[in-house]
Copies of this chain bind each other. A is one copy, B any other.
Amino acid sequence: MREAALSLFSRHGYAAVSMRQIAKEVGVQAGALYNYTPDKQTLLFELMRSHMDDLLSARAATGDSGQDAMARLEAFTRFHIHFHSQRPDEVFIAYMELRNLTPENFEVIEGLRRQYENGLEDILSAGQSDGVFAVSDTKIAAMAVIAMLTGVNTWFQEGGRLSLEEVEQIYWDMVRKSVAANP
């Protein structure tokens, strides 16, 4: 059911998709859907929350503590590109459908997103203290780096001119220089 909703929301947009259409895609009667979710809003919220939960736990699983800030930033950069390139629909919806969340649900998703951004900001602050990074505002720098990296999703295609590993290397080179004290 989640896969059907994800696919329909990303193709047509949340507001244009009905529970009836989702049921049809799953291959059940519309009424049967309500055994699994109380309404379409909950379905959207669960999709976005599980995407953010997956992101945070996959990130936590890379376990970067103990390394220096430069190594942590490289790990973050490669992780972010890799994780997001595997989930184009989730990433698209996570950005596009924020406007369709209820205020309470929006707060939850924003909180998870802030948690992820704070993880990067911590790395930047650590590198700043060590003198290896020089950014004028760690919060803005974190958002700038994340926007740059997520942008890969708008153009990258498997089998194109560059492999994902080459793309990661190019972006890592730019990210490193953008925040480094002595690039």
Interface set of A (CB-CB < 8 Å, partner B): 11-16, 95-96, 99, 135-137, 140-141, 143-148, 150-151, 154-155, 162, 167, 169-171, 173-175, 177-180, 183
Q: Is the CB of B140 within 8 A of A151?
A: no
Q: Is the CB of B144 within 8 A of A154?
A: no
Interface of A is mostly: helix
Taking the full assembly, how many copies of this chain does it contain?
2
CA distance A175 to B177 in the complex (A): 9
Q: Is the CB of B154 within 8 A of A147?
A: yes
Contacts of A96 in B (CB 8 A): 13, 96
Contacts of A154 in B (CB 8 A): 95, 143, 147
CA distance A154 to B180 in the complex (A): 25
* 5 A–B contacts from the bound complex (CB under 8 Å): A12-B13, A16-B16, A96-B96, A144-B170, A174-B178
CA distance A15 to B140 in the complex (A): 34
Contacts of A151 in B (CB 8 A): 143-144, 146-148, 150-151
A147 to chain B, nearest CB (A): 3
Q: Nearest B residue to A96 by beta-carbon distance?
A: B96
CA distance A15 to B96 in the complex (A): 13
